[in-house]
A = this chain, B = another copy of it.
Amino acid sequence: MDDPVLLTGAGGRVGGAILDGLADEYDWRLLYHSQPATEPDAEFLVGDVTDAELMAEACEGVGAVIHLAGDPRPDAPWDSVLANNIDGTKVLYDAAVEAGVERFVFASSNHAVGHYETDRKPDLYRADDDFRLDGTELPRPGNFYGVSKAAGETLGRFYHDEHGIKVCNVRIGNLTEGHPPVDYERGQAMWLSHRDCAHLHARTLEADYEYEIVYGISDNDRKYYSIERAKAVLGYEPMDNSADFDGRERVADGN
Contacts and interface: CB of A to CB of B under 8 A. Distances in A.
A138 interface: yes
User: How many A residues are at the interface, by size bracket?
Assistant: 20 to 34
A166 interface: no
A38 interface: no
Given A78-B90, A86-B82, A141 B158 contact: yes
Interface stretch (A145-153, A182-190, A215-223, A230-238): A145-153
Contacts of A87: 82
B115 A157 contact: yes
Taken together, the copies of this chain in the complex come to 2
A22 interface: no
Nearest to A94: B78
Interface in A81-136: 82, 86-87, 90, 115, 118, 136
Contacts of A82: 82, 86-87, 90
Contacts of A86: 82, 86, 151
Interface of A: 78, 82, 86-87, 90, 115, 118, 136, 138-144, 146-147, 150-151, 154-155, 157-158, 161-162, 213
Given A147-B151, A150-B154, 13 more contacts: A78-B90, A82-B82, A82-B86, A115-B158, A139-B154, A139-B157, A141-B157, A141-B161, A143-B158, A147-B155, A147-B158, A150-B151, A154-B154
